[in-house]
Copies of this chain bind each other. A is one copy, B any other.
Amino acid sequence: MNLILLNPNDFIAEDRVRLRGRRFNHISTIHRAEPDSQLRVGLLNGKTGNGLITQIEPDFIELTVMLTQPPPEKLPVTLLLALPRPKMLKRVMQSVTSLGVKQIYLINSYRVEKSFWSSPLLQSDNLHEQLLLGLEQARDTILPEVHLRQRFKPFVEDELPELCEGTKALVAHPASEKNALLEPNQPTTLAIGPEGGFIPYEVDKLAACGFTPFSFGERILRVETAVPAILSRLLPI
C-alpha cells in the first residue's frame, strides 16, 4: 500500500478522514504509524496528496488530508485479454492496473476453459478489490473499467470495430513473423491470447477488424510475464 485510497464517505470534515478496517489495520501494523506521521493518500478517481495522522484509536485512525496533485498519467491502452485462469487473474489484474491501463476487456477464446467464467473472482466486488490493490501499489487513484465479454464473435464483430477506431490495433501472436511494433504512448488496442495462444480463426477475425499480429520473440511467455513485458514497451519512459 504505497498510497492510502480514500472514498468520499471516509470524510468527517472537509479535510479530515476517519479510517477503519483494512486500511486502519495496514496503517497501524505495516506502516506502524504514529500521530504526526505523514502518509501518501489519494481520493478514489481524484487527486493525491499527503495525510497527517491526527488521532489513533484502537479501531480507527484519523488523518488531515491535503489533496493537490494529479494521479500518474494513464496508459492510453485498451487491453483485450483472454480470460486467464482464476489464480492468475488476480495477479494479472493487479499488475495491469499498476501499469496504468484503464480499459480492460476480459474476452473469451477457444483455449479459455469454460469453467473460468464461473469463477467468483469475476464478481464485481472481487474484481474491484484487485483493482484497488493495483492502484494502491502504483499510487494511482483512477479506477480501471473492466468489461466481461463471454462471446468472442459478437464482441469482435459488433463492438470491437468502434472500440479500436483511431488506435493502433495489435494482437500478440507468437507464430507471427513480424516482430513487435510497439511504440510508447501511442493510443493502442492490444489483444493478448490465452496460454497456447489465439487459434487461427480468432487471429483472422481480429485481423479482419484491423489488428496486426506481432511476435514478441521466439520465447513463449506465461500470461503473467507477457502482459507486463508487452505493456512495458508502451510506457512513456
Contact = CB atoms under 8 A, between A and B. Distances in A.
Interface of A: 2, 72, 91, 94-95, 98-100, 137-140, 179-180, 216-222, 224-226, 228-233, 235-237
B232 A138 contact: no
A99 B139 contact: no
A230 B222 CA distance: 16
Contact of A232 (B91, B94, B100, B229): B229
A226 B217 CA distance: 19
Given A99-B229, A232-B233, A137 B72 contact: no
8 contacts: A2-B220, A98-B221, A99-B219, A139-B218, A229-B232, A229-B235, A232-B232, A232-B233
Contact of A224 (B217, B224, B226, B230): B224
Most chain B CB inside 10 Å of its own CB: which residue of A137, A140, A219, A224: A219
Given A137-B222, A229-B235, 12 more contacts: A91-B224, A94-B222, A95-B224, A99-B225, A137-B221, A138-B219, A139-B220, A179-B237, A217-B235, A221-B228, A225-B228, A230-B232
A225 B100 contact: no
A221 B14 CA distance: 31
A221 B179 contact: no
Most chain B CB inside 10 Å of its own CB: which residue of A72, A98, A220, A232: A232
B221 A138 contact: yes
Contacts of A225: 94-95, 98-99, 228
